[in-house]
Amino acid sequence: MARHTFPRELRLLTPAHFKNVFDNPVRAASPHLTLLAKPNELGHPRLGLAVPKKALKRAVWRNRIKRVAREAFRLKQHQLPAVDIVVIAKKGIGDVPNDELFELVDRLWRTLSRRCNGSA
């Protein structure tokens, strides 16, 4: 049975990891979120989050978006290809309810998986 955890190995931790993803990424976007991905050699996906103050002023609002993105990743990690993913929140995402946000992120995971597998 697959473990649905989110340990340190599944996170993008350093600025170098983020910079690597920002250099020529595969993109999946919606009006509220952008997902950038780049294949890695680790054999599993990793997640990084970028939720700027410009998009959501209050920390509690930013933290909610990060919580939802982490949970969606935790549940789908075994279906994703070996890529480094950065989730970038855009203005207006604070108005999206959690259930719609989960659906949006899930749809973007699928789009990203298709694009990464197609380019490999």
* Predicted pLDDT at 113: 87
Query: For residue 43, how far is the Cα from the chain centroid?
Result: 17
pLDDT in tens, 57-98: 999 999 999 999 999 999 988 888 899 999 999 998 989 999
Residue 11 DSSP label: B
pLDDT class of 120 with cuts at 50, 70, 90? very low
Mean pLDDT, rounded, for 20-24:
92
pLDDT at res. 5: 82
Report the percentage of the chain scoring pLDDT > 70.
96
Residues 28-43: what's their mean pLDDT? 92
- Taking 80 as the threshold, does the pLDDT of residue 104 lie above it? yes
Query: What is the reported pLDDT for 6?
Result: 81
| pLDDT given for residue 1 in this prediction | 58
For 103, other C-beta atoms within 10 Å of its C-beta total 13
So what's the pLDDT on residue 48? 96
Instruction: List the alpha helices (DSSP H) in the chain.
Output: 15-22, 59-76, 98-119
Element (H, E) at 46: strand 46-50
